[in-house]
Structure 1
């Protein structure tokens, strides 16, 4: 069977639409579902990622969904970073996370983190024993674990601000975020916190991984196994094996000479996609998924010489100006005295039409903050 060819123009138009950038999302949960979670390592960015895609969204909707309605859940997800997931999808994701629940527990890993793999597994088991039915602060949960695992190295790891020692429990469905208490984060048991989630019909690991790979490709494709490895948080060899194991649900495409993958339904839709549909101007917030995945495609989405302005030190992803599917600048905002000042730093000189479109895009942020908007332009490089 011949491999179908698709162009970068089609790919960009497809992603913009599928990621609810060029197409409006019907609601918060639809946005979180389509993106396979809202990146929430910085809490405010999760709100903006949702808001810029969801016309009905108002600031505070994520908090209500998390702590009142419990239709969203916050936990460590892809790449070991915090995400907000639809509560009803957590059982499926947990089944898929089993594939990468524990890091590669090499001697180098143990030396760096100061604990053994056996200790990490024991801590994870104890969390699963002490957390059900309770909402505990980090200090309270650490104290409970340390009553059982009495090791100075484990205590030091549990006091660390990075949370590495808690992530396997999150991946195993033993831990998720609870509501803050006196400005302290808390943890709780997902099954108790989300009793209406379909835990009884949780799929097996193979079925769950097939669903996750399909959803990744349907939102961020066409993509390679290496793209998936970076997004999911595993090494490329493991991702290659996963793609081979799930060859029945994916199909190879030629993306301007790059062997990539889509789902069969995604390919049918992409072949009907007009590259001109990538046209438009958007202001996307920090850590936006359009920039994060696939990382391997940034050569086509970020002009040469500007990547360090977009992907900055310590993994910080800047808010970006996107024009016709390509990042053409970065931006920031400041709210003061009921005025929201949006400052755009274009990489190159932009047209009057683009400037007018940016003013329209900035108005959405003004709506969110209930503020008048002023757009300021820095001198292009």
Structure 2
């Protein structure tokens, strides 16, 4: 049994939002001093859209662009004067204190390097086994390639990266001719077509934890990454890995239901429950109407996190598409009015750029072709909030500069704002 049900207390939406503002480094006084601090506070940054990583850090980094009003620290942290782009690039490509890898729900993330082994063992490796089996099945049905051919090709790729240090997929294709091979995918079906071996082999090696994505070609918005050998790190037991990941998530998010954690991790419910038990998670009651449906739902917090959390100072934020804050929970009504969903999500459930005020989503934003950062509020927030949100838009524009950022997954409001 998780915790002692007789001592449960109720945590309402206001307290959850207060935890969010501080722990996700969104309140001005809670802003971070480094990219590593941001990633650690969020557990992992969504990396499917490369620009989202930089935008997520920029929204939370002290000293990024113009100051955003009272309570915003200046000069704190490691390199606040450099701005989000060089700060994230330093952490990813020079210090390698952050790593980009497949993780939860088969999604690409950027996360602290010390957390990579736990994510690899608990989440990525089972997905990698399935990915490799699928590739071998496709190769067998659409070509003469087999497991021995794949193993030999992978060995040549690793050897080449050991010599070069880093290389693009095209460079590896020139050095390892096998990567230029193709095979027929979906033979006899509507999806039948010719697919390159290179992208699938590199993907499998990445998911196996043997290679990692390095510095991209082009600007920080590019997804054309170079590849490098992964750093070998000791790996924990799978149960220990799941416990570490859930413990970090609860520390960062403050509270979650089983359904939230099952959705975020992509694990079986038995694995989630085992990890909750391992960290000694304590059940709490969510205020009526929150959680996964009507009535009162049960959430979980860490055993040393039961004390009430005071409100933060008022804060505003412009968060990017796929930001970890709105993507951290399955049930989101405590920070998002359901009536706003059609404007802010695409048809696949990907959230677009959002405007926040005091722990609630209140609108969306976009960048126009002329570079201007524009936003629209979907509810009345008052004059003080509008001014704070405007200051955040100026802060964002101040460090994005002349770079144009278009989300990989377009949403109705983002499209409309960007075109007007």
Query: Closer, same or farther in 2 for the Cα pair 1:341/1:152, shift >3 Å?
Result: closer
Say which of 12, 15, 23 aligns to 1:7: 12
Aligned counterpart, 2:226: 186
State the 1:355 CA deviation: 1.3
TM-score norm. by structure 2 comes to 0.71
CA distance in 1: counterparts of 2:337 and 2:182, whole angstroms: 52
Higher helix share: 1
Q: 3-state DSSP class of the match of 1:59?
A: helix
Task: Indicate whether 1:273 and 2:319 are aligned.
Answer: no
Aligned counterpart, 1:83: 109
Say which of 2, 7, 21 aligns to 1:16: 21
Query: Closer, same or farther in 2 for the Cα pair 1:140/1:273, shift >3 Å?
Result: same
Aligned counterpart, 1:343: 374
How far does the alpha carbon of each residue in 1:78-117 deviate from its partner, in whole angstroms, 9 at most, with x for none? 2222222233432333222356334768xxx969x95689
Unaligned runs of 5+ in 1: 372-377
Aligned counterpart, 1:287: 322
State the 1:31 CA deviation: 0.9
How far does the alpha carbon of each residue in 1:268-308 deviate from its partner, in whole angstroms, 9 at most, with x for none? 3xx2202x338432222222111111022x22221132112
| 1:55-70 alignment runs, 5 A limit | 55=62, 56=80, 57-70=83-96
TM-score norm. by structure 1 comes to 0.77
Aligned counterpart, 1:374: none
Task: Indicate whether 1:206 and 2:239 are aligned.
Answer: yes
Aligned counterpart, 1:224: 257
Query: Closer, same or farther in 2 for the Cα pair 1:213/1:359, shift >3 Å?
Result: same
Query: Closer, same or farther in 2 for the Cα pair 1:124/1:324, shift >3 Å?
Result: farther
Query: Closer, same or farther in 2 for the Cα pair 1:142/1:233, shift >3 Å?
Result: farther
Unaligned runs of 5+ in 2: 63-79, 187-191, 288-295, 403-416
Q: 3-state DSSP class of the match of 2:372?
A: strand
Equivalent residue pairs, number: 348
State the 1:54 CA deviation: 1.0
**RMSD of aligned Cα (Å):** 3.7
CA distance in 2: counterparts of 1:185 and 1:87, whole angstroms: 18
State the 1:166 CA deviation: 5.0
Aligned counterpart, 1:44: 51
| 1:79-228 alignment runs, 5 A limit | 79-97=105-123, 100-102=126-128, 114=138, 129-133=155-159, 134=161, 135-139=166-170, 144=176, 146=178, 152-153=184-185, 159=196, 167-180=203-216, 184-191=224-231, 199=233, 201-228=234-261
Say which of 9, 20, 42 aligns to 1:35: 42
